[in-house]
Structure 1
Amino acid sequence: MTEQEFGPYLARERKRAGYTLRRLAKEAGTSASTLSRWENNHAVPVRDDALKLDGALGLKGTLFRKWETYTSPSALLPWMLDAGKLEEAATSVTYVSPVLVPGLLQSPGYAEMIFAEGQPLWSPSEVARVVALRSKRYEYLRERNNPKITAVFPAVALSMVPDAVRREQVERLVSLMDDGVRVHVIPLPGVPMGVTSPLLLVRLEDGTRAASSDHQNGNVVFDASSGLERLFEIERRVLSDALPLEQSRQLLKEMI
């Protein structure tokens, strides 16, 4: 089943719930023949029918969101066309960074250094405000949707910074690993091949995948219709080049 197919998803959830075609059709207020057409992608239910199916199967909105995704011109809902919204809807997120520690995992000192150097026209108070917001983001996601988090970045992201900043950042990363974050480091002098800007790759509850990349003209969100598979192939390749979790942890500790 591809990400776009609603019918097979409906059939799978019906069987998982132990419903026959006739029983689910009755509870959803339709006919068994119509339900069969939906499951075989010969027709698509309207909004009210999708809501009834979701309620009958007790899926608490999961099936309805799948229907919305399937019937949207994009593979993503309009409100998801934003990296932050994708993070907040994801069951898992992977950050691939070509140069820096990913923003979600940055310590306050590391983030302050990056913003102060990257935004020279910002006042100290503006930098402090953005750093405070970034520092709260991890806990916010943990409380909101608690996604599985994976991060891949090169060791140069730490070797190039002052000792005090590196020590604070390494301690932050080790603490996050203790909290379940999967951190994979590409040892010196390696860099993530094929990655020229930060990548965010997400998986949603209904199985939909999406990705976001920072570019000079702003953030770009990719879906199944816009080269998504290539970005997930980059994720697989970069993870294979990075150190396993425990070796990454050891390398981090050696950098203090």
Structure 2
Amino acid sequence: MSESPRTPWLRWGAELRRHRNASGMTQQSLASAINVSSALISGFERGTRIPKRAHAADGDLALSTTGELERLWLEINDTREIPDEWRSFAVLERQASEIREYQTALIPGLLQSPAYARAVMRQGRDQQDTDEQIDHLTQARTSRLAHLHNTRLSFVLEETALRRVLGSKEAMVECLTHVLALLEDRRIRLSVIPDDAPLRPVVSAPFRIMNLPDGRLIGHAEHMFGENVVSDPHQVNFMVAIFGDMQAESLSPSVSKTVIEQIRRSLQ
């Protein structure tokens, strides 16, 4: 019975094969060079066997790839617990120098506490999901922020997102407390659009804009079944303009923080 490929490692296996072919080595000769079996090399390339970091380092040495296999191993290993449908998004997110996000009805995923995130997952996904699946998704979501070491984060939230109770009042209080603690980080700015802001742009769904290291801007527009990636420069620039208009209609970060504190007190 053949083994099924492990999705995160198909990319690594493809890179190993590409470098091996470019060097003119066979699976057997590469296996001999790094002291493993040719069957293991075959498994790596098919994505059915997971390499150790030492295998990646030895492969770089044997194939003269200047550390490419080990760097890719570290990247994949860092995201292996993220659900498949989130993986590409998470890799982009971790590369971004700046992320701007507008949310209509929920606290942004990067700012969610475990209890709040679990409530979102439980109420927003297929009711057939097991507790184990929900726990896995919750862990993946709430661990995202820890990987954004130097990323500037700007959020604009509708006031409704802060007042809408999900799961329980206790979960909401926990999440608002969590958000207030995160706002002590100078990289994170949050602005609230009050319910009575009449000139806010009309936007039907949340969206996000990422600044990548190569200067590109990538947008993500949310919908019921996921997100659309927006890469057309004119469309992304339109998203940037709308985000700026949202900020103009928002309360200042300091006043927004006071609003969050008031809402938290009202729930206690």
TM range (shorter): 0.5 to 0.7
Task: Tell me if the contact between 2:94 and 2:147 (Cα under 8 Å) persists in the aligned partners.
Answer: no
Distance 2:128 2:248 in 1: 39
Matched, 1:246 2:250: no
- Once the two structures are superposed, residues 21-74 of structure 1 have per-residue CA deviations (whole angstroms, 9 ceiling, x without a partner) of xxxxxxxxxxxxxxxxxxxxxxxxxxxxxxxxxxxxxxxxxxxxxxxxxxxxxx
- Residue 217 of structure 2 aligns with an amino acid whose one-letter code is R
Which TM-score applies when normalising by structure 1?
0.62
* 1:185 aligns with one of 184, 192, 195: 192
Task: Tell me if the contact between 1:197 and 1:214 (Cα under 8 Å) persists in the aligned partners.
Answer: yes
Matched, 1:165 2:171: yes
Distance 2:96 2:139 in 1: 23
Query: Relative contact order: is structure 1 or structure 2 higher (C-alpha 8 Å, sep ≥ 6)?
Result: 1
Distance 1:252 1:214 in 2: 24
Match of 2:222 in 1: 214
Task: Tell me if the contact between 1:154 and 1:190 (Cα under 8 Å) persists in the aligned partners.
Answer: no
Return 5+ residue gaps in structure 1 as ranges.
Answer: 1-80
Task: Tell me if the contact between 1:203 and 1:210 (Cα under 8 Å) persists in the aligned partners.
Answer: yes
Match of 2:108 in 1: 102
- Cα deviation for residue 131 of structure 1 reads 0.6
Q: How is 1:74-153 mapped onto 2 (pairs within 5 angstroms)?
A: 82-119=88-125, 120-142=127-149, 146-153=150-157
Q: SS where residue 168 of structure 1 aligns? A: helix
- Cα deviation for residue 225 of structure 1 reads 4.2
- Cα deviation for residue 152 of structure 1 reads 1.1
- Residue 96 of structure 2 aligns with an amino acid whose one-letter code is A
* 1:154 aligns with one of 140, 153, 158: 158
Distance 1:250 1:124 in 2: 36
Distance 2:225 2:164 in 1: 27
Task: Tell me if the contact between 1:97 and 1:195 (Cα under 8 Å) persists in the aligned partners.
Answer: no
Query: RMSD in angstroms over aligned alpha carbons?
Result: 2.1
Q: How is 1:31-42 mapped onto 2 (pairs within 5 angstroms)?
A: none
- Once the two structures are superposed, residues 180-223 of structure 1 have per-residue CA deviations (whole angstroms, 9 ceiling, x without a partner) of 21111122356964322221111123432221112245321112
- Cα deviation for residue 135 of structure 1 reads 1.0
Distance 1:199 1:206 in 2: 21
- Cα deviation for residue 149 of structure 1 reads 0.6
- Size of the alignment, in residue pairs? 173
Q: How is 1:190-205 mapped onto 2 (pairs within 5 angstroms)?
A: 193-205=201-213
Task: Tell me if the contact between 1:108 and 1:131 (Cα under 8 Å) persists in the aligned partners.
Answer: yes
Task: Tell me if the contact between 1:83 and 1:219 (Cα under 8 Å) persists in the aligned partners.
Answer: no
Task: Tell me if the contact between 1:156 and 1:189 (Cα under 8 Å) persists in the aligned partners.
Answer: no
Which TM-score applies when normalising by structure 2?
0.60
Please, which moves more after superposition, 155-164 or 128-137?
Answer: 155-164
Q: Structure 1 217/173 Cα, relative in aligned 2: closer, same or farther at 3 Å?
A: closer
Task: Tell me if the contact between 2:104 and 2:160 (Cα under 8 Å) persists in the aligned partners.
Answer: no
Identity %: 23
Distance 1:237 1:164 in 2: 33
Distance 1:88 1:230 in 2: 24
Return 5+ residue gaps in structure 2 as ranges.
Answer: 1-86
Q: Structure 1 197/85 Cα, relative in aligned 2: closer, same or farther at 3 Å?
A: farther
